[in-house]
């Protein structure tokens, strides 16, 4: 079971060559068991990046995300109250970014591994990562 960080989702869908070999393998394996997860907060982060001109998608962001939601092996995880609270209680968390906090709390709530290139997240002792 894996959770994709925002950049991992973007690269996996639009430019898989940017993923590491280990990340690609972890995603392929999780696809077979329909255990690829994405925090719904990732949708917010992608929309924000598009709105601010820091990300260009070939489709409107709503259409791009709707296509992702239709993938049978990918599940978007809502931000529950427990995930929201857990995101602010992460001990010694290396990021102030709310998206990284929510994505990490989602990963921990699922008992999953986080697919991320982010070195700060990869160095965080409380979450297992793949890259």
Domain map (residue ranges) of the chain: 2-130
On the question of pLDDT at 95 being above 90, the answer is no
pLDDT digits (tens, 9 = 90+) for 38-92: 999 999 999 999 999 999 999 999 999 999 999 999 999 999 999 999 999 999 9
Instruction: State mean pLDDT over 7-17.
Output: 95
On the question of pLDDT at 96 being above 90, the answer is no
126 CB contacts (<8 Å, ≥6 apart)? 90, 91, 92, 108
Packing angle, helices 40-51 and 98-110, rounded to 10: 160
Query: How far apart are the C-alpha atoms of 101 and 74, rounded to whole Å?
Result: 21
Query: pTM, whole model, 2 decimals?
Result: 0.93
pLDDT at 106: 98
pLDDT > 90 fraction of the chain, expressed in percent and rounded: 95
On the question of pLDDT at 109 being above 90, the answer is yes
Where does 2-130 sit in CATH, by number?
Answer: 3.40.50.1010
Mean pLDDT of all residues in the chain? 96
pLDDT at 42: 97
């Amino acid at each position: 079971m894996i959770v994709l960080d925002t950049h991992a989702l973007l690269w996996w869908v639009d430019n898989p060559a940017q993923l590491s070999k280990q990340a690609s393998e972890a995603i392929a394996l999780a696809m077979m068991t329909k255990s690829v997860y994405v925090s719904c907060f990732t949708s917010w982060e992608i929309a924000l990046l598009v709105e601010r001109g820091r990300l260009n998608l070939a489709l409107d962001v709503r259409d791009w995300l709707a296509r992702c939601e239709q993938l049978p092996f990918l599940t978007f995880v809502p931000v529950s109250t427990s995930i929201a609270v857990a995101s602010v209680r992460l001990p010694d968390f290396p990021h102030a970014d709310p998206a990284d906090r929510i994505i990490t709390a989602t990963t921990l709530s699922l008992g999953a591994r986080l697919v991320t290139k982010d070195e700060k997240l990869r160095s965080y002792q409380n979450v297992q990562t793949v890259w």
